[in-house]
Structure 1
Amino acid sequence: MMKILNILIVWRGKEFLQKIRSKKPHIYFNYSLYYFEVKCKIEKNIDEKRLNIGVKNCSTRKSVVFLTNSAIIRNEKNEKFKFSTPFNNNDIFGCGLVYPPTNKLNEEFPYVFFTQNGKQIGKGILLMENSESYKPHIGLKCCSVEANFGKDLESFEYDITKHLTLKEFC
């Protein structure tokens, strides 16, 4: 089971960027989990709806995203992995970014995972390139979202306290 530092580290503006971009990491023996969720509400034409959720690398401008309308996860190399998860009104999608302990940085890579309605979708996506500066990324068309970054201890649909470090990746 993964141990989460300080209960939860949330993404919020500069605080998130400062924590992720740290040039001199401290020696930690725990994994760090960064996670957020969005609840989607379809506003107009259901055929034109689009919601993309993921993380974007501030250095390379590449992203790892879950394209919900086509149920595809796309990695930084633009490789696509198809899943059979339908996108419905009021679905809750999540994106997690997991960093290994600093004492394992030479052995393990950070990874991204996605959730829908509290359940993990597929395998994790390894981040092989410069992985120090990621920020949340959401793209919308014909829908609106309510974002949950864990503010005020609001609970997530996905139980992050039970997240296990992934061993299988796309």
Structure 2
Amino acid sequence: MCCTNNCINTENPSGNCVKGYGYGKLIDGENIKYINCLEGKCFDQYILVYAENSFKAPQNSLNYSLYYFEIKCKFEREKSSVWMNIGLRNLNTNKYIYYYANNAKIYNEKDEAFNVSINWKNNDYFGCGLVYPPSNMTNKSPYVFFTQNGKEIGEEILLKDNSESYKPFVWLKSLSVEANFGNNLEAKPFKYDISDHLILK
């Protein structure tokens, strides 16, 4: 919400900004179309969008469990004006794990930053995954990982306490995204091969 008009909100995610500011419009429940501000009213809002469903730790699982989603990024302005984070919010602690594309860093829940030696460009794909080990492998920790254009980037972020439930999110400005939560992998496969994370380690 950018003003008291509250034109665009959870109940009306496809509204229009009456002040002419830049905003994001939710399309088909997954994709976000960013509408740039009108000429002469140039203020592009940062928008934070959460997935409807959370990623939850499975109970009594004998296998590795994987949650993963990807987004395709489309610049709506020059790269210097575009902004994007992708990651997970811990529903128990309200802390974030995310990849910040503009400065090429991954942040853990302690807000510690880890450099990633990559660049990003228009039409890149980014992904975020959460892996839980089998319930009987108490010596193993769940972890979060990130991908770009089908390749894992940076180091995996190990999770310790309070890691039972996470909410996927994107935080962006002047950027449209096409999201893929794996609902139909035959028609719309991931760029990243997720099978690597389902093998016992």
Query: TM-score under structure 2 normalisation?
Result: 0.69
- Is there any run of 5+ residues in structure 1 with no aligned partner, and where? 1-11
1:160 aligned residue: 194
Q: Secondary structure, in 3 states, of the residue corresponding to 2:189?
A: coil
When the two structures are aligned, how many residues end up with a matched partner?
Answer: 149
1:30 aligned residue: 63
How many angstroms does 1:21 deviate by? 5.9
Q: Does structure 2 conserve the Cα–Cα contact (< 8 Å) formed by 1:58 and 1:133?
A: yes
Query: Equivalents in 1 of 2:117, 2:199: separation in Å?
Result: 23
Q: Secondary structure, in 3 states, of the residue corresponding to 1:101?
A: coil
Q: Secondary structure, in 3 states, of the residue corresponding to 2:144?
A: strand
Deviations 1:29-59 (A, max 9, x none): 2100100000000101321211111111011
1:90 aligned residue: 123
Q: Secondary structure, in 3 states, of the residue corresponding to 1:64?
A: strand
Does residue 115 of the first structure (1) align with residue 147 of the second (2)? yes
In 2 relative to 1, CA 166–94 (structure 1 residues): closer, same or farther, beyond 3 Å? farther
Which residues in structure 2 correspond to 1:13-162 (within 5 Å)?
A: 13-14=52-53, 16=54, 20=56, 25-26=59-60, 28-104=61-137, 106-153=138-185, 154-162=188-196
Aligned amino acid, residue 13 of structure 1: E
How many angstroms does 1:165 deviate by? 6.1
Q: Does structure 1 conserve the Cα–Cα contact (< 8 Å) formed by 2:64 and 2:200?
A: no
- Is there any run of 5+ residues in structure 2 with no aligned partner, and where? 1-50
In 2 relative to 1, CA 166–113 (structure 1 residues): closer, same or farther, beyond 3 Å? farther
Query: Equivalents in 2 of 1:69, 1:115: separation in Å?
Result: 15
In 2 relative to 1, CA 43–122 (structure 1 residues): closer, same or farther, beyond 3 Å? same
Larger Rg: 2
Query: Equivalents in 2 of 1:113, 1:107: separation in Å?
Result: 19
Q: Which has the higher contact order (CA 8 A, sep 6+)?
A: 1
Cα RMSD, aligned residues only: 1.9
Q: Secondary structure, in 3 states, of the residue corresponding to 1:102?
A: coil
Query: Equivalents in 2 of 1:31, 1:86: separation in Å?
Result: 31
Aligned amino acid, residue 42 of structure 1: F
